[in-house]
Structure 1
Amino acid sequence: MIFTVSLLIIPIVADESNEEFQGLAWVTEEYPPYTFIDNGTPSGLMVDMVTAISRKAGYELPKQSIHFLPWNEAYQKALTKPRTVIFSIARTPERENLFSWVGPVVSSDIALYSSRDRNITLHDRKELANYTIGTITDDVTIDFLVDAGVRKDSIVTRSDPYKLIHDLDDGTLDLFAYGNIAAEYHIKNATGNPGFYKISARIGTFPVYIGFSAGTPENLVKKFQNAFETLNKTPDNGEISETERILSSWLLDENLKHLEYLTEGYYPYTFMEDGIPKGISIDILHEVFSRYGITIPSERFTFGTWEEVYQKTLTQNNTALCIIARSPEREDLFQWAGPIDKTSNVVFSRQDSADEFKNKTLEEMKIGAITDDIATIALINSGGKDIIYSTDPKELIKKLESGEIDGWAYASMPGYQLINKYASDPDSIVPVHSLQTYDYYIAFNKNTTPQVVQAFQDMLDIIRTEKDQTGVSTYDYIMYRYVDPVYSESSITPQDVTDLVNQTATDLARDAPGTIKNINAGLPPYRNAERPDLYVFMYDTAVNMVAHADNIRMVGANYHNKTDVAGKPFRDNIVQGALTNGSGWEDYIYSNPVESGLFWKTTRYQLAVGSDGKQYIVCSGMFRNNSE
């Protein structure tokens, strides 16, 4: 469900300016999330803005009257055809006298993207002259490149961003230059991965405006500008302005500023310590905030009973649950970002009553459960019938100790923490029955714009997969801060990974460049589509990551002296083991692409010689399960 901006529509008597508005031609390009077509209807941040401004000015702009063209065609039409309005358009000195301007509405960065296997990093603008750069015809990026010292006639221009991405992929281009927000969208559509290409540099920021072609009546532009300024005003009641409401419905950083973050207190995911919210989910949220350059105060995190925070997120816009199990029963109630981790649900009982659970079914036992809690759903699904409901875990723990109930259903890790906090004798309460295990997510109110949730998911994926200078992801650090590594549910066997390593080594000997390209594209057999935790990765003898079928962000980086989250230099051990012994196995801690959490992993490695005469260390790993 798309978030709808609620604006007060006031009937306005038709006047001459209203008729003039009707005579305007509105043009734009496919430039998500600012402007794009959604199921045949114009949509996006700037579409919402121009329709909202028009409404404030007294004119109801039909979205279907907005024409989408390739950027160069839209730009030339706005230059040459009177009474044309173009958006989104950057206001630059070169364009200053070509249009009448309304804005600025928002800003965007110009980023330069390169293939990760090229590992291009620009430290000085003078280095741009060494590369072939492509961008969109007539785009503002050209002005930034020229200002940075690039000859205009050397810039490759096309009207279609996907052709530029193709040129970057096949090596025709060294760098693709474009506004970063739209570029990430197009790259994700083209490759399935918003981080597929590396940002080699950023060369500037431009403000986004609405441009009226030369000759548009001054009073009409002024009326539009006044309506825009009215939209920007903060209401006397302290709520956010209508402009902020539109921006926050499309841009993740703006949205994050206005959300209320709700939780019950659910260790180790969310808890209070010395008055400060902490935990896995809280730390992940703060990491997302920091990557957007914003700070969210502790007061924006609201702790309450589970029923209170659950119902509030269900019914109130601009809310998010910091941690919640995703289940079929809840699937359509929220929008989801994650997973963050997974947790099993259990039934706890007194130790002296544990034997009763061996001889009785769950439906014969009187079991306490929290209203609307996921363990309650798991209990009902497992046959629980005689359920005593409460909103307070402390109350149920006390009833369990007094014998008023036979058991208490709750998530295992949070349950242990609450037992240690509230039970008179924590050691006397033990888990006696396993219920279902669920993945835990951050859940947004259903009315949140899907593009915002997707942007949050993309950033979460980066936090999970992007390794820092020590070779560890932020997600790994956060998880290791609170929980120990666990065993996996993976069915991958030692023979599976050995066979894959052997096949890859054979393919390298036959065609090293083609094999490396196919690995980085995540193609089978190098990444198993049905079992995506079975994949190939590969180092050279200097511990540079040459190819990775699951995480393209790692390609091109050097991992010498870089460790797992526990400090083990497993990559150096792998390369040294291959150079010394030819092949072997290495154990370490790592995150799993198909399961949330930190896991014990073991990797098979083998020294191979490619058709190019170079030595490679071919690897494939398995996440260990507790049956070993």
Structure 2
Amino acid sequence: MRIGMLVILLLLALPVSAGLQQLRFITEEYPPYNYSENGQLKGIAIELLEQAFAAEGLQLQPQQIELLPWARGYDTALSTANTVLFSTNRTAARETLFQWAGPISADRVVLMGRASRTLQIDSITELNASELQIVAIREDVGAQRLQELGVDPDRITLASNNTSALAMLEAGRVDLWAYGEDVAYWLMRSQGVDPSAFEAVYTLSETYLYFALNADTDPRLTEQLQQAIDRSRDLATQLRFLTEEYPPFNYLDEQQQVAGIATTRLRTMLKDTGLQAEFQLLPWARAYTEARLNENTCVYSTTRTPEREAEFHWLGPLHISQWGAFSLPEAGLQVTQLDQLDGLRIGSFREDAVGQYVAGLGHQLILATTDRENLTRLRNGLIDVWVTGVTHAQRIAADEQVSLTHLFTFNEVPLYLACHRDISPGLIQRMQHSLEQQDASLQHPYSSGAQES
């Protein structure tokens, strides 16, 4: 009996970090979080896991991670102790099924449809009353959310993986695809499908992605993994600066690097403060949500509104933006102010401050996923007027060799770097001081005549 008790005590005394190497990790093709490229697993979640192991003085072995179809991986993680499934949406329905470590990132699950159809869904009741057919992946959060929200099962087709689901959507066999927005667009680009041909028409959920551990896993291992993730983030001094395609402030240059006049100011700020930041260009709503939910993350170029004030630390201003209304010359519109837009189809995009301002004045908007899509919609006769940043619209139109009529300008606002509330006040002060020093060296900072969106 004493020998048995001694063995138990010795096992309990073993460092839990060693147990992390006994965990079995399962993932799927879900870029940019986890995916296979040239036989190697890559992605945001893979990097975070490697950093967590390194923070414990361990090395994550390639054989510890298996790439499986989602439904098979999900069932395995449910039934097998010491198994970890990622990247997994943490939802209310799944909360008690697993133990959780993370988060990895925020994730927005949507219904994707063809942009040319300009589908608009305002409720699940409206969806069920339609003839629209939806594809989802078995056991994926998209399929689970459809069930939880009460979507008619007769209009849902289950696919085995995301490639087949995309093929069904592209071929017109279904009208909508329930899936993660960023992952859907990534997959489209990798498959040679034009992402601008599709858009998010309804949001099913906005949640975090986590490492989901089997419920019977030793809780000490879950806690150790969580602490390792936290420690790896503490060791990382790098910030994330997220932005959108919004020339001339922020855009991808010919080398596919984030550039623009706002980006240049921020790179100068980083050099002055000795800080590091990863720059990433995303759809605006996604970039905005990431910065609101994730530590050490900032978004720019952001309009500072009363509704957004409490959500962020605000650094800047970076520049001034003028807002305007645009149409095609052949439309022959003769309008000079916003209250003359009644009865016209007005285009904007999700979470954009310009569109929110116009909607706040009582106008109905047709929302795109990205602002560049609105130029295409204008050319295709799907909208009559496009409201956006003045120089931004002119820059995109020049790139596409499209003539625009600038109907009128209706507002002028400063643009900021908006940072997550948990970034330390000392760090915020250092960055703000650098921006103010840059302003002091300018004769006319924030001049709106040449620098606006």
C-alpha distance 16-158 of structure 1, shift in aligned 2 (>3 A)? same
CA distance in 1, matches of 2:375, 2:168: 18
CA distance in 2, matches of 1:551, 1:123: 20
Residue in structure 1 matched with residue 206 of structure 2 by the alignment: 205
* TM-aligned CA deviation for residue 163 of structure 1: 1.4
> What is the aligned counterpart of 1:554 among 377, 381, 390?
377
Q: Which amino acid aligns with 2:145?
A: F
SS at 2:92 equivalent? coil
1:178 matched to 2:1:
no
CA distance in 1, matches of 2:210, 2:226: 11
CA distance in 2, matches of 1:319, 1:212: 29
Residue in structure 1 matched with residue 289 of structure 2 by the alignment: none
C-alpha distance 298-134 of structure 1, shift in aligned 2 (>3 A)? same
Q: Which amino acid aligns with 2:101?
A: V
* TM-aligned CA deviation for residue 318 of structure 1: 4.2
Instruction: Give yes or no for contact 1:109–1:202 (8 Å, CA) kept in 2.
Output: yes
1:80 matched to 2:79:
yes
Residue in structure 1 matched with residue 162 of structure 2 by the alignment: 161
CA distance in 1, matches of 2:109, 2:22: 34
CA distance in 2, matches of 1:150, 1:222: 37
1:114 matched to 2:121:
no
Instruction: Give yes or no for contact 1:27–1:87 (8 Å, CA) kept in 2.
Output: yes
CA distance in 2, matches of 1:336, 1:221: 33
1:300 matched to 2:266:
yes
- The CA deviation string for residues 411-458 of structure 1, in whole angstroms up to 9 with x for no partner, is xxxxxxxxxxxxxxxxxxxxxxxxxxxxxxxxxxxxxxxxxxxxxxxx
C-alpha distance 153-213 of structure 1, shift in aligned 2 (>3 A)? farther
Q: Give matches, 1:536-575, under 5 Å.
A: 553-554=376-377, 558=381, 561-562=384-385
C-alpha distance 559-80 of structure 1, shift in aligned 2 (>3 A)? closer
CA distance in 2, matches of 1:147, 1:192: 30
Residue in structure 2 matched with residue 228 of structure 1 by the alignment: 229
Per the normalisation by structure 2, the TM-score is: 0.54
* TM-aligned CA deviation for residue 26 of structure 1: 0.9
* TM-aligned CA deviation for residue 600 of structure 1: 6.8
CA distance in 2, matches of 1:90, 1:560: 35
> What is the aligned counterpart of 1:255 among 241, 255, 268?
241
- The CA deviation string for residues 507-557 of structure 1, in whole angstroms up to 9 with x for no partner, is xxxxxxxxxxxxxxxxxxxxxxxxxxxxxxxxxxxxxxxxxxx99953995
CA distance in 2, matches of 1:137, 1:469: 44
- The CA deviation string for residues 287-326 of structure 1, in whole angstroms up to 9 with x for no partner, is xxxxxxxxx79963639xxxxx9xx79x996488xxxxxx
Residue in structure 2 matched with residue 40 of structure 1 by the alignment: 39
SS at 2:96 equivalent? coil
Q: Which amino acid aligns with 2:223?
A: K
C-alpha distance 79-563 of structure 1, shift in aligned 2 (>3 A)? closer
Instruction: Give yes or no for contact 1:116–1:556 (8 Å, CA) kept in 2.
Output: no
CA distance in 2, matches of 1:469, 1:156: 41
Instruction: Give yes or no for contact 2:181–2:200 (8 Å, CA) kept in 1.
Output: no
Instruction: Give yes or no for contact 2:100–2:211 (8 Å, CA) kept in 1.
Output: yes
SS at 1:97 equivalent? helix
C-alpha distance 559-168 of structure 1, shift in aligned 2 (>3 A)? closer
CA distance in 2, matches of 1:199, 1:193: 14
Aligned residues: 290
1:70 matched to 2:69:
yes
C-alpha distance 297-196 of structure 1, shift in aligned 2 (>3 A)? closer
Note the residue ranges of structure 2 that are not aligned, 5 or more in a row.
1-12, 253-261, 283-323, 329-372, 405-453
SS at 2:190 equivalent? helix
C-alpha distance 190-62 of structure 1, shift in aligned 2 (>3 A)? same
C-alpha distance 212-596 of structure 1, shift in aligned 2 (>3 A)? same
1:281 matched to 2:248:
yes
1:27 matched to 2:26:
yes
Q: Give matches, 1:294-333, under 5 Å.
A: 300=266, 302=268, 318=277
The structure that has the greater radius of gyration is 1
Instruction: Give yes or no for contact 2:100–2:212 (8 Å, CA) kept in 1.
Output: yes
Which range is displaced more, 28-37 or 154-163?
154-163
Q: Which amino acid aligns with 1:181?
A: D
Instruction: Give yes or no for contact 1:75–1:86 (8 Å, CA) kept in 2.
Output: yes
* TM-aligned CA deviation for residue 88 of structure 1: 0.5
Q: Which amino acid aligns with 1:147?
A: E
CA distance in 2, matches of 1:173, 1:226: 43
Q: Which amino acid aligns with 2:120?
A: T
* TM-aligned CA deviation for residue 175 of structure 1: 0.5
CA distance in 2, matches of 1:124, 1:141: 16
Instruction: Give yes or no for contact 2:248–2:395 (8 Å, CA) kept in 1.
Output: no
CA RMSD, aligned part only? 4.3
Residue in structure 1 matched with residue 53 of structure 2 by the alignment: 54
- The CA deviation string for residues 182-238 of structure 1, in whole angstroms up to 9 with x for no partner, is 1111122234422221221222201111111122112111111222232344xxxxx
* TM-aligned CA deviation for residue 29 of structure 1: 0.3
CA distance in 2, matches of 1:556, 1:144: 35
CA distance in 2, matches of 1:31, 1:280: 29
Residue in structure 2 matched with residue 126 of structure 1 by the alignment: 125
CA distance in 1, matches of 2:325, 2:137: 34
* TM-aligned CA deviation for residue 564 of structure 1: 12
SS at 2:95 equivalent? coil
SS at 1:82 equivalent? coil
Residue in structure 2 matched with residue 351 of structure 1 by the alignment: none
CA distance in 1, matches of 2:275, 2:376: 37
C-alpha distance 194-469 of structure 1, shift in aligned 2 (>3 A)? farther
1:219 matched to 2:185:
no
CA distance in 2, matches of 1:200, 1:142: 16
CA distance in 1, matches of 2:215, 2:278: 44
Q: Give matches, 1:441-590, under 5 Å.
A: 470-471=326-327, 553-554=376-377, 558=381, 561-562=384-385
